[in-house]
Structure 1
Amino acid sequence: MTLTGLDVLERDGFKQLAGKRVGILTNHSSVDNSGRNAVDAMRESGSVNIAAIISPEHGFRGTAEHGVLVENSSDPATGAPIYSLYGKTKRPTEEMLKGLDVLVFDIQDIGARFYTYLTTMAYAMEEAARYGVEFMVLDRPNPITGDILEGPALDSTTVNALTAYFPVPVRHGFTAGEMALFHKDWKNLDLKLSVVKMEGWRRDMFFDETAVVWTNPSPNIRGVKAEILYPGLGCFEATNVAVGRGTDTPFLWFGAPWMKAGKIAKELSKAPLKGVTFRAEERTPAKDVYEGEKCRGVAVDIKDAGAVRALDIYVYAAYYLNKHNKKDFIIKAEEIKKMTGNSRFHEMLEAGETPAAILAGFEKDSAGFRAARGKFLLY
């Protein structure tokens, strides 16, 4: 059984927070091994002074949809203000951090660079350094393992956004604590940083092998299979293809009213894509892209989680969509640059390069990161 950083801190009586004014950057995914939220666990311990709660995208309770701004509020149990970092500001302000001794980060990430929680952590680290506030990460599993990497390292000289911040591959293989160590080193932050490590976690574990309590990290990530496919199928959000928001299978299916789904599924089934099967399947999204329209699409079934390379699936799918639906399929150049990490993917696809050539370029672009990441690994 894996104990998260929160479990370890709680077991040890929160002694590392004793006598300090604590801010916590967290949301609904921060639960202990009994399913209790970190804020509640700290409050009920009677030994933690929670002075501020700060929340990321989707809000403190995790119910706000993708891209919806969240307002500030307050916690009725503790009386502490709840500051949103997905509203008027994406970074903690001086007002939010004023009087704090330590800012604690405890949020369950999903292991994809363009998922926003760890960028929010990075912004908070930078502001904590600016205002002299200690920063503590309560570590949690990378739910799609810590030893599989996918995609090119982001070119941070040309791309900088909430979804495109760290110079790491799309599937980066870091835990939150490891990313914090990497970020402090990359930005050379003058920051007192500590990581409360997990116990019983191995790098080859998927989330469902850890016995850590599951909560949907965001409304449309509803299981480990969606997390595994997200680094690839999430890239469709930079196109005019639906990814299953508003259906019962978000990030397990992609489609559009105009898609030649039978041909795409057949091509993907012949491609060298391991651990998955594909089948043509219709869906009618209740919201988001193509709301209320019947979409022809492709369902992706995972058969061997360890063999799946989700970004490979996206590259092959985009190639075949360009082949069979060229008049209808649209890739937003600036958005896909944020997702993949540089402009090369879009340029190579438009030039007619094969998926194999594109993926070989990805591997080359991430070689430096792969060689250097070892010093940040905690497990």
Structure 2
Amino acid sequence: MRFNVFKNTVLLFVLVMISCANKKGDKKPQNSVAEQTEKQQILKETQNDNSIIVGANQTENYLPLLQGKHIGIVANQTSVIFKTDNTYTHLVDSLATLKIDIKTVFAPEHGFRGKADAGEHVKDGIDKKTGIPIISLYGDNKKPKPEQLDNLDLVIFDIQDVGARFYTYISTLHYVMEACAEQGIPVLILDRPNPNGHYVDGPTLDINNKSFVGMHPIPVVHGMTIGEYAKMINGEKWLNNGIQCELNVIPIKNYTHQSSYSLPIKPSPNLPNDTAINLYPSLCFFEGTNVNAGRGTDNQFQIFGSPFLNPKVFTFSYTPRSNTGAKYPKHENKLCYGINLTQTKPLNHLNLQWLIDAYNNTKDKSAFFNNFFIKLAGTKKLQEQIESGLSADAIRASWTDDLNSFKHIRRKYLLYN
């Protein structure tokens, strides 16, 4: 089954650790709690499919492009080079060790270390480990300013995406490409797998609803890697005034869009595991409603609920609390009624039924949707269809022509089968 390899590896590791602790506990002190936690975290953050080689690991293909140049890097906690011993080093640390002249790190939403809440302001700063300046590309400064690119010869973009239109890393990609194109600076993409790259689905964005959570006329689930998507941005001339960025992509080896790939590092604080990542395109619609999508729990984007849903229909309950990645979750400290989806089988399409059922069973339908919903959906039509009582199948049927049109365009930019 898709995504199971990594989970089995985690279980095996835990059992081995317990066994070793029992055998060695009498001979010498056990590791501190902090050390054990660090080891467990390293295990969670290791590549589990050795046949797939991400772009960053192919140093022989891009180090010659960096020698003697001033480099900028768009990176976060996922920007790593995997080692054969199931550990990793951060791309920035590795290149700094190799004396590559990194002038600036540009950080997307959630920051360079990936710990900030969704939508939280991320400040500029200095990386404590390397001393390299960090410039935030979230908040008021989504697009690098000319002076922030001054003296750079090349910008590397290496961030793990999850393949949903409203996941803002592809918006950051757009602005980086645009700024670099305007300054005549090449962009190098170190490509990584798309965990939701096995399907294309959802309503297509109406450009009148363009925002940072949806900048291009694409479906919610686009089925492309960052490298492929960058090629589409260029090829469809979506950058300002139709300019094009000088682009070079280091492709993934041994990867297809049907490859099973479990993300070894959380791409953001509220996508903690494979199930959350798989459900995210479907459950993120709740961010534009009065329903909590699991923020403030340990099951982010794996459960949903609200105080306003009918407890006779939605029998699962939980209470969101302030936690890492959700300092002020929706319905904080309030009992929510909803559904537990943690055991749901992996999806290969968007699920609208959960959204429709929640709308049909809420106490006050007029308060269900908020203004953010149209930005997430990319169109006013989806809300109107739900409010008019259309079934999930009827709504999905209305996407057919747009999806077929997008898939035809998408083929031109695919690097993988």
TM, length-normalised to structure 1: 0.89
- Count of paired positions: 352
What do you get for the CA RMSD once the two structures are aligned? 1.7
User: Whole-Å Cα distance in 2 between the matches of residues 338 and 296 of structure 1?
Assistant: 26
- Asked whether the 8 Å contact 2:305–2:337 carries over to 1, the reply is yes
Residues 304-346 of structure 1, C-alpha deviations (whole Å, 9 max, x = no match): 42x442x32xx22232223222515734354222212211111
Structure 1 pair 358–12 and aligned structure 2 pair: CA distance change class (3 A): closer
Does residue 1:7 correspond to 2:57, yes or no?
A: yes
- Asked whether the 8 Å contact 1:238–1:332 carries over to 2, the reply is yes
Q: Which structure has the bigger radius of gyration?
A: 2
Q: Which runs of 5+ in 2 are unaligned?
A: 1-50, 323-328
Equivalent positions of 1:28-67 (< 5 A) are 28-34=77-83, 35-46=88-99, 48-67=100-119
What letter is aligned with 1:74? I
Q: Which runs of 5+ in 1 are unaligned?
A: 265-279
Does residue 1:227 correspond to 2:227, yes or no?
A: no
CA drift at 1:169: 1.0
Does residue 1:198 correspond to 2:241, yes or no?
A: no
- Asked whether the 8 Å contact 2:55–2:192 carries over to 1, the reply is yes
User: Whole-Å Cα distance in 2 between the matches of residues 263 and 95 of structure 1?
Assistant: 56
Aligned residue for 1:19?
68
Task: Report the identity percentage.
Answer: 35
SS of structure 1 residue aligned to 2:135: strand
Residues 20-78 of structure 1, C-alpha deviations (whole Å, 9 max, x = no match): 110001111111113211101111122x1101110000110111111110110012343
User: Whole-Å Cα distance in 1 between the matches of residues 68 and 92 of structure 2?
Assistant: 17
CA drift at 1:218: 0.6
Higher mean C-alpha deviation, range 108-117 or range 323-332? 323-332
Q: Which of 60, 68, 71 lines up with 2:120 in the alignment?
A: 68
Aligned residue for 1:106?
158
Aligned residue for 1:289?
330
Equivalent positions of 1:90-169 (< 5 A) are 90-144=142-196, 146-156=197-207, 158-169=208-219
What letter is aligned with 1:27? N
Structure 1 pair 204–169 and aligned structure 2 pair: CA distance change class (3 A): same
- Asked whether the 8 Å contact 2:108–2:169 carries over to 1, the reply is yes
CA drift at 1:243: 0.6
Aligned residue for 2:20?
none
- Asked whether the 8 Å contact 2:359–2:368 carries over to 1, the reply is no
User: Whole-Å Cα distance in 2 between the matches of residues 68 and 301 of structure 1?
Assistant: 27
- Asked whether the 8 Å contact 1:154–1:342 carries over to 2, the reply is yes
- Asked whether the 8 Å contact 1:261–1:298 carries over to 2, the reply is no
Aligned residue for 2:340?
299
TM, length-normalised to structure 2: 0.81
Does residue 1:86 correspond to 2:138, yes or no?
A: yes
Equivalent positions of 1:321-336 (< 5 A) are 321-327=358-364, 330-332=367-369, 334-336=371-373
User: Whole-Å Cα distance in 2 between the matches of residues 352 and 12 of structure 1?
Assistant: 54
Higher mean C-alpha deviation, range 174-183 or range 364-373? 364-373
User: Whole-Å Cα distance in 1 between the matches of residues 362 and 201 of structure 2?
Assistant: 26
What letter is aligned with 2:185? V
Residues 144-187 of structure 1, C-alpha deviations (whole Å, 9 max, x = no match): 2x23111022122x111110112111111000000000001122
- Asked whether the 8 Å contact 1:255–1:297 carries over to 2, the reply is yes
User: Whole-Å Cα distance in 2 between the matches of residues 13 and 350 of structure 1?
Assistant: 51
SS of structure 1 residue aligned to 2:341: strand
Q: Which of 275, 290, 294 lines up with 1:244 in the alignment?
A: 294
Moved >3 Å (runs of 4+): 301-304, 328-334
